[in-house]
Amino acid sequence: MTMRYDFGMVAVAPDPFGEPENNGNSAVAMFCDLDVVAALKRADKNVQTFFTASGFVLDAHDNGAPPGRFPADDENSRITIIDKLSANLSTHDLENANWGGFDFSAFMDSLSKAQPIAEELLAPTDVSLQHVQAPASIPAPQGQRLIALGVLIVGLLLLFYVASQLLL
């Protein structure tokens, strides 16, 4: 079976700590075909890093677009992703890499032929909100979590102290 190299853009929720996620991008790219994602997960680490550094998340997402099409609203974000792919070609050693079954020339062909489609023509998708938000919930570094937890505990202690003083 031939793999479908189409991808869609998924919005990334802002980081509550003000740290830019995904290198400051407001969206990440996700392939529509689970087989493409599986191939990339089998690929060498430098191939995976090439895609993640270019704005991809190695997970699948059905955006409702038919094969060879993408939501018209995604066009600017896709251009950003394509620019990053081009820039990262020279920064990643991909010459003798194992691509895990991912066909880079078929991917490039798919990129060049993809056409936008109006949002109202997209098929409805049965994607839970949790799945769509999954790439946005990139774990915060451990230090940020500890600081947030510490601030929460101090806030609760202050709240209890004030409440106890009011009851006396």
Alpha-carbon separation of residue 75 from 14, 38, 118 (angstroms): 21, 25, 11
CA angle 115, 117, 123 (to 5 degrees): 125
pTM, two decimal places: 0.67
Name the strand (E) or helix (H) holding 36.
helix 34-42
Angstrom distance (rounded) from CA 37 to CA 56: 10
Domain ranges for the chain, please list them: 7-137, 140-168
Tens-place pLDDT, residues 23-52: 555 789 999 999 999 999 999 999 999 999
Between 161 and 90, residue with greater pLDDT = 90
